[in-house]
Amino acid sequence: MLLEATDIRKVYKTSAKTELEVLKGVSLAVEEGELVAMVGPSGAGKSTLLHIMGGLDRPTDGKVYWGKEDVYQLRDSARSRLINRRVGFVFQFYHLLPELSALENVILPLMIRSGSAKNSRLEFKGMQMLEQLGLTGRADHKPGQLSGGEQQRVAIGRALISDPKILLCDEPTGNLDTRTGEQIVALLKELNRKYKQTIVVVTHSERIAAVAGRVMFMEDGRLKV
């Protein structure tokens, strides 16, 4: 099992006397090579669960395992290193650094991991990734010079550059027009089919749900079977 979440609860304190229970004992497992879509109404807890699965948001209760690693028993520094090596994130809003080129945005995780500046080895790997994504001619362009679909492809390249075990996507087509969204769906499908990339997608898109190998429905903080 690549990733397993067991009895996950998440409670936010909205005031001294009031709590909001977002996740109510969610358990799920993801196997290597799966493309899983998580669907459901807004406010169901999908994004919160995704962030907890990815090591970004500590649950109030429950366990998350990546293989045999108990993620939230690790120190913050060790968990951050593990995230950098094993998990790639793609968000609805691309979160690219506006002052960096497409190539620099893609290789940024490798620069952080190695503690070094851009160099020929990193550039070569980054250009390979951009070629795979159909963005070779955009390497020197900054985010403001790219379309929404191109920015999302750069964000996907940044997520994939570290060869993650799992790609976690939070509404990756939510900020795109229909045609561009379909291109991103096709790309995710190809990554899963051709490269056996494990992917979990939080989405409202019926197109993503249609190509997923497994669809999970969330409502009111619970997974519905």
> What is the three-class DSSP state of 192?
helix
Q: What is the mean pLDDT of residues 65-91?
A: 92
- Return the closest-CA partner of residue 135 out of 170, 92, 104, 168: 104
* The predicted structure's pLDDT at residue 17: 84
Taking the C-alpha atoms of residue 96 and residue 191, their distance in angstroms, rounded to an integer, is 21
Q: What is the mean pLDDT of residues 41-60?
A: 95
Compute CA distances 78 → 32, 71, 73, whole Å.
Answer: 23, 9, 10
Give the CATH H-level superfamily of domain 3-224: P-loop containing nucleotide triphosphate hydrolases (3.40.50.300)
Beta strands 214-219; 19-30: pairing state: unpaired
- pTM of the predicted protein model: 0.92
Taking the C-alpha atoms of residue 201 and residue 47, their distance in angstroms, rounded to an integer, is 10
* The predicted structure's pLDDT at residue 225: 63
